[in-house]
Structure 1
Amino acid sequence: MKILIIRHAKVNHIWKKWCTSSEFDEQCSMYDTPSVDTSPLNPLMCDASDIYISKLIRTYYTARKMFGDEKFTRTSLIMGYQVP
């Protein structure tokens, strides 16, 4: 079995330089929802029988750019953290 781990593309979000705790939570939510810059990515040519991605929209956009119209399984098991 081969496992390929790919991080998402660059997120189109500019972080505030300074913020309160509640503003930081808001910034994290905003980071999770914007588009990503997939322009420098090239499609991958590999045999992938199953492709799992996190539930974050940025991973979906990245996977679409890299794997085209393949079917993806979205799961919350592939998440480094979760904003409440």
Structure 2
Amino acid sequence: MSLSDLQSNRYRVKLTREDVLKKANRTVVLDLASQGRLVSEQFEEDLPGAGRIPFETRYHYRDDFHHGQVPSRSETLCGESGETALGKTTTL
């Protein structure tokens, strides 16, 4: 990946992790401009009676919370459109 590719993607990189036990892939987005912190994860789960459901977890950071290295909040969304919020977590 070239420097111009990184700049056009706002220094974010997508990586795919393969879970051999679940036979599933998980895509993670890292922000290289902020020391490689995790921005989001996308994955699918097999749910009985519902089939494969896509999920996305987004991580939010604040500079005044652990110097921006620990997510201050995360939210997990479900479905193709990502409109259904399953949960929001705020770190104290």
Q: TM-score with structure 1 length normalisation?
A: 0.25
Say which structure is richer in helix.
Answer: 1
Higher strand share: 2
Question: Which of 1 and 2 has higher RCO (CA within 8 Å, sep 6+)?
Answer: 1
